[in-house]
Structure 1
Amino acid sequence: MPQRRRNNRVAVSGATGFIGRALSNFLESNGYEVIRLKRQHFKSKKSQLRTLLKGCSVVINLAGAPIAARKWTPNYKKEILNSRINTTGVLVDAIKEMEPKPELFISASAVGIYDSYEVHDEFSTSYATDFLGTVCQAWEAEACKVQRIKDVRLCIVRLGVVLGNEGGAFPKMLRPFKLGLGAKLGDGHQVFPYIHLNDVLNAFWYIIQHETSSGIYNLVAPQMLSNLEITEAIKQRTKKSILPVIPEKILRMLLGEGANALLIGQKVVPDRLEKDGFTFEFPTIEAVLDDLIC
């Protein structure tokens, strides 16, 4: 069994978001005291943030403007980038000045860092050169500055599309299917790297509890499926007819460059988690849909 941490005080940025809210509740239900960091805490004096972080053995960084929430105007692209870089930088600076320092810094990233051609484990360096790829690389580079601080362990979790009923992508995905308006996106061949919310929570718990865990982890389900295969699975589960396709042209009209997040997928495997013996509660899309669709 892994050793117990010196205390159970954890700070979470982005705690009001879909994943952050669920993770905060999950940690509290397992006996942790959670300090929920809000946007205003990053705009106040550094001393206030350090006070909030005081005594935390773990700092978890999930802050960032939603990727697919709206059309990518030049201003929103700046918000997507800056909300990640600035928050991460402020947290790293605060950790540098803390005494005692946290044992672990977990910083989120996304599988959008990878290109859409190769199959990627955590050691892949074939990165995308589009906007999302460059955002993820800059985001991770900011988090990696914590490695200059002695005795602070760093884990970067590259998230796929997190599926749950309480928020995020899944309710938006499911709604048109229930109305008989579901469809593949574009040609449907793009890979859809997904993961159930419960597996995300359990992966965070695994990383926190295992003191040998460090570096990069891909948080995706082991099963690799295309958008077309996901569409067919939801169709079968909802027993509804679907439309032939939502054309790429329509998606680009609605989301601009942001349509890339739906039209370009990444082939990603959770190699490190599987080799470490982590057990996925929902390893297939069938298991995910059986749980989420009532």
Structure 2
Amino acid sequence: MNILITGATGLIGSHLCKHLANHHKLMVLTRKKEKAFTILGHHVNAFETLEDIDFNQLDIVINLAGEPIADKRWSKAQKQKIESSRWHITEQISDKINEADNPPHTFISGSAIGYYGRQTEPVDEQHNQPFDEYSHYLCKQWETLAKKAQSDKTRVCILRTGVVLAKHGGALKKMVPPFQFCLGGPIADGKQQMSWIHINDMVNIILFLIENESLSGVFNATAPNPVSNNQFSESLSETLEKPNFFRMPEFVLRLMFGEMADLLVFGQAVKPKALQDADFKFHFPHLKPALENILGGR
């Protein structure tokens, strides 16, 4: 099949391309072709603008583009960058799909569990009382723009992704070093829930949605067993065989990151009910085996 991927050089996209490359024709949207070829190889077709892509020739579009949300303090300029990097490309794709006479049959578009905002009880896709804060505002508009592509010819799948765990990049790239220097520990009171997913399961979810063409709508891309930040820190400490007693106080996070600290201080236990109802099988449903698989060779 002909598959277009945005955000292909990112953590999820680069892993996904490795699985799709041998069986499909891949097209990637990128700002820098040479970077894409270096990361993904020259077997992909790289484009710098959607105007150069004929959507009548596409079977699937996978939209994973977006400025990292937790890398910097949320200044007004940074929020605009975060928003435009998601909303603009998603709106463009939906418009291109709607304009095509023979549009792609599948549009898989990224979102995040930030859609739910902070929660104190477990939530799944049917939860309809999100906490009204910036992460919800960002994800709601992102999803709304993607859903514009839904039609009799095109199904839309929305992925509300949790914390993706991988050996190179992602959240563990920031979490592991403090533990390696014996400076690791929980964040704030450590009671906040963390909804995570192993990179292999993340990729397999996308492959599962590609293969099961009857599926559409919202899917929580999270492992079925979320943990508290205290539990996460303990498991990471045990896996790395390093101590776990340097707690990061909330006020320090507020000084460092401002409003963005909300992502670290508050959490939610997000359940992947829609995927489990569709009989998707997680290879890593529990955190400790997932961390051992990822970090065991360190």
TM-score normalised to structure 1 length? 0.92
**Structure 2: which amino acid aligns with 1:124?**
H
- 1:34 Cα shift? 1.1
The answer to whether the aligner puts 1:18 opposite 2:22 as a matched pair is no
Work out the CA distance in 2 between the residues paired with 1:166 and 1:238: 15
2:134 to 131, 134, 137: 131
Work out the CA distance in 2 between the residues paired with 1:32 and 1:184: 43
Count residues in correspondence: 282
Please tell me the root mean square deviation across aligned C-alpha atoms, in Å: 1.6
Contact 2:3 2:61 in 1 (8 A): yes
Give CA deviations for 1:218-252 in whole Å, capped at 9, x if unaligned.
Answer: 01001121000000111111121233310111112
Q: What is aligned with 2:35?
A: none
Give CA deviations for 1:28-66 in whole Å, capped at 9, x if unaligned.
Answer: 14x11111111479985x632x33x44211001111110
The answer to whether the aligner puts 1:117 opposite 2:120 as a matched pair is yes
Contact 1:42 1:87 in 2 (8 A): no
Work out the CA distance in 1 between the residues paired with 2:225 and 2:204: 18
Once the two structures are overlaid, the 10-residue window that deviates more, 34-43 or 58-67, is 34-43
Q: What is aligned with 1:63?
A: 65
Aligned ranges for residues 182-197 of structure 1 at < 5 Å? 182-197=184-199
**Structure 2: which amino acid aligns with 1:19?**
I
Contact 1:107 1:156 in 2 (8 A): yes
In structure 1, list runs of 5 or more residues that go unmatched: 1-7
2:101 to 99, 102, 105: 99
Which runs of structure 1 show a deviation greater than 4 angstroms over 4 or more consecutive aligned residues? 40-44
Work out the CA distance in 1 between the residues paired with 2:6 and 2:140: 19
**Percent of pairs with identical residues:** 35
The answer to whether the aligner puts 1:141 opposite 2:144 as a matched pair is yes
Matched position secondary structure for 2:148:
helix
Work out the CA distance in 2 between the residues paired with 1:182 and 1:109: 29
Q: What is aligned with 1:33?
A: 25
The answer to whether the aligner puts 1:159 opposite 2:161 as a matched pair is yes
Contact 2:163 2:171 in 1 (8 A): yes
TM-score normalised to structure 2 length? 0.90
